[in-house]
Amino acid sequence: MLPQEIIRRKRDGAVLTATEITAFVEGLSQESISEGQVAAFAMAVFFKGMTPEEIVALTLAMRDSGEVLSWAGIGRPIADKHSTGGVGDNVSLMLAPIVAACGLAVPMISGRGLGHTGGTLDKLQSIPGYDVMPDAATFRRVVDEVGCAIIGQTGDLAPADKRLYAIRDVTATVESIPLITASILSKKLAAGLESLVLDVKVGNGAFMARAEDAEALARSLVTVANGAGVRTSALLTDMNEPLADAAGNAVEVQNAVEFLRGAKTGTRLEEVTLALGAEMLVNAGTVADLQTGLTRCRDVLASGKAAEVFGRMVHALGGPVDFMDHADRYLQKAAIEIPVLAKADGYLASADTRGLGLCVVALGGGRQRPTDAIDHRVGLTGLVPLGTAVSRGDLIATVHANDRDSGERAAQMVAASYGIADDRPELAPVIGKRIN
Active site residues: 80-83, 120, 168, 183, 187-188
Express each pLDDT in 377-422 by its tens digit. Answer: 999 999 999 999 999 999 999 999 999 999 999 999 999 999 999 9
Cβ contact 231:266 at 8 Å: no
Domain with CATH 3.90.1170.30 in the chain: 336-421
Say which residue, 36 or 368, is predicted with more confidence. Answer: 36
In eight-state DSSP terms, residue 395 is: E
Given a cut of 70, is residue 118 above it in pLDDT?
no
Phi, psi (deg, nearest 5) at residue 256 = -65, -40
- Superfamily of structural domain 3-49: Transferase, Pyrimidine Nucleoside Phosphorylase; Chain C (1.20.970.10)
Given a cut of 70, is residue 235 above it in pLDDT?
yes
Say which residue, 371 or 260, is predicted with more confidence. Answer: 260
Question: Average pLDDT of the chain?
Answer: 93
In eight-state DSSP terms, residue 339 is: E
Average pLDDT of span 363-372: 75
Cβ contact 411:382 at 8 Å: no
Domain with CATH 1.20.970.10 in the chain: 3-49
Express each pLDDT in 273-309 by its tens digit. Answer: 999 999 999 999 999 999 999 999 999 999 999 999 9
Architecture of the domain delimited by 336-421:
Alpha-Beta Complex (3.90)
CATH 3.40.1030.10 assigned to domain 79-327? The reply is: yes
Given a cut of 90, is residue 155 above it in pLDDT?
no
Region label for 31, one of left (φ > 0), alpha (ψ between -120 and 50) or beta (otherwise) = left
pLDDT confidence of 368, banded at 50, 70, 90?
Answer: low
SS3 349: strand
pLDDT confidence of 52, banded at 50, 70, 90?
Answer: confident
Neighbour-count burial of 2, counting CB atoms closer than 10 A to its CB (0-12 exposed, 13-18 middle, 19+ buried): exposed
Percent with pLDDT over 70 in the chain? 97
Given a cut of 80, is residue 252 above it in pLDDT?
yes
Give just the sign of the alpha carbon dihedral 422, 246, 270, 111: positive
Domain with CATH 3.40.1030.10 in the chain: 79-327
Among the listed residues 352, 328, 345, 363, the one whose alpha carbon sits nearest the alpha carbon of residue 421: 345
Exposed e or buried b per residue across 119-139, where buried means at least 16 C-beta atoms within 10 angstroms of its C-beta: bbbbbbbbbeebbbebeeebb
pLDDT confidence of 109, banded at 50, 70, 90?
Answer: confident
Percent with pLDDT over 90 in the chain? 81
Neighbour-count burial of 229, counting CB atoms closer than 10 A to its CB (0-12 exposed, 13-18 middle, 19+ buried): exposed
Task: Kindly report which listed range (112-116, 173-177, 224-228, 268-272) carries the lowest average pLDDT score.
Answer: 112-116
The confidence score (pLDDT) of residue 113 equals: 59
pTM as predicted: 0.88
pLDDT confidence of 117, banded at 50, 70, 90?
Answer: low
Angle, CA 220 vertex, CA 214 and CA 221 arms, to 5°: 90
Beta pairing partners, 150: 108
